[in-house]
Amino acid sequence: MTAETTAELPLDQVRTLLAVVDEGTFDAAATVLHVTPSAVSQRVKALEQRTGRVLLLRTKPVRPTESGAVLVRLARQLARLERDAYAELGLSGAGEATRVSVAVNADSLATWFLGALTGVPRAPGLCFELRREDEDHTAALLREGAVMAAVTSSPDPVPGCSVRALGRMRYLPVAAPEFAARHLDGPLREVLGRAPVVAFDRRDDFQDGFVRRLRRGRGGASGVRHYVPTSEGFVEAVAAGLGWGMVPEAQADPLLRAGRLVPLAPGRSVDVPLYWQQWKLDSPALAVVAEAVATAAAGALRQ
């Protein structure tokens, strides 16, 4: 989208589109904007006519199309810049907090990421909104404009975003000692795929990928599968003997030392590269968060 095209987009129509997406319906957006539902509908239709594209799927709740997501992201960025400008001018008397929204994967959230936020200077009125999502999918929230920044496994920048490498999170294949003795007696590449396994959710194929590596591309984990959708719960489920799993090194090490876990393939681990992507905005709040995240990652992740 060129600067000339952006200038031709009426801001009231762009903001109305954002309100409809955030509120989920035209009626709810009308209440927030203090206009009639008819006015909301007319603004959205006018914006669609101006861009020549369908911007919303009229579902319940409504959802932006791919083109609509571009304008939603634009609207959020404009709102962010507007709030920063008011703050610099000393006109933010309404007391609205400066909110930085970030998508972050569960394992980072459970290990190093919250420590990063404690390194952010205690500016008055600064608050965080964290969205937990798998590192393979956090970039989608950034692309939709739902967040300002994301910890992601993708080095390819989302349009309108910058990217920087954070480091690698190492995962170890581990199990409880009793589980290993009961289910993993034999060559690991033969028995691991048939053993009960713990997965984060139905999209999690990390354990399957490790089995495929052992078997040089053949098959995956075919045993009983337990789904535990929290990082801390996942580790506890493995330590309790429900199944084996790929556990972040930072969470596995103390349990290995305590004898609650045993390594299944000493010397074999999987490193997942992580990146920080954020909007290309001259936002002081976003800048200080980015620096704090990079500093924490340098100390917590493998470089």
Residue after which a domain boundary falls, among 24, 42, 76: 76
User: Nearest-CA neighbor of 151 among 22, 299, 272, 284?
Assistant: 272
Considering the domain boundaries, does residue 3 fall inside one? yes
**In the predicted structure, residue 63 carries a pLDDT above the cut 60:** yes
Q: What is the dihedral of CA 121, 123, 126, 127, to 10 degrees?
A: 40
Higher pLDDT, 7 or 256: 256
Number of domains present in the structure of the chain? 2
Range of the structural domain that residue 230 is part of? 169-272
Q: What is the pLDDT of residue 88?
A: 67
Residues above pLDDT 70, as percent of the chain? 93
Q: What is the pLDDT of residue 185?
A: 94
Higher pLDDT, 17 or 124: 17
CATH number (domain holding residue 47): 1.10.10.10
What mean pLDDT do residues 24-53 have?
93
CA torsion through residues 236, 241, 242, 244, sign: positive
DSSP-derived letter for residue 63 is: E
3-state secondary structure of 61: coil
Q: What is the pLDDT of residue 90?
A: 59
Considering the domain boundaries, does residue 250 fall inside one? yes
pTM of model > 0.85? no
Could you tell me the two tokens for 52?
Answer: 């020549």
The per-residue pLDDT of the chain, averaged, comes to 90
Considering the domain boundaries, does residue 126 fall inside one? no
In tens, the pLDDT along 65-102 reads 999 999 998 888 888 888 777 766 655 545 566 789 99
Considering the domain boundaries, does residue 155 fall inside one? no
Rounded CA separation 197/242 (Å): 7
**In the predicted structure, residue 123 carries a pLDDT above the cut 90:** no
Q: What is the pLDDT of residue 96?
A: 63
Return the H-helix or E-strand segment holding 67: helix 66-88
What mean pLDDT do residues 267-287 have?
92
In tens, the pLDDT along 194-252 reads 999 999 999 999 999 999 999 887 777 777 999 999 999 999 999 999 999 999 999 99
**In the predicted structure, residue 5 carries a pLDDT above the cut 70:** no
Considering the domain boundaries, does residue 21 fall inside one? yes
Contact by Cβ (8 Å): 56, 63: yes
Residues above pLDDT 90, as percent of the chain? 71
145 — pLDDT class (breaks 50, 70, 90): confident
CATH number (domain holding residue 192): 3.40.190.10
Q: What is the pLDDT of residue 234?
A: 98
Considering the domain boundaries, does residue 195 fall inside one? yes
What mean pLDDT do residues 147-156 have?
93
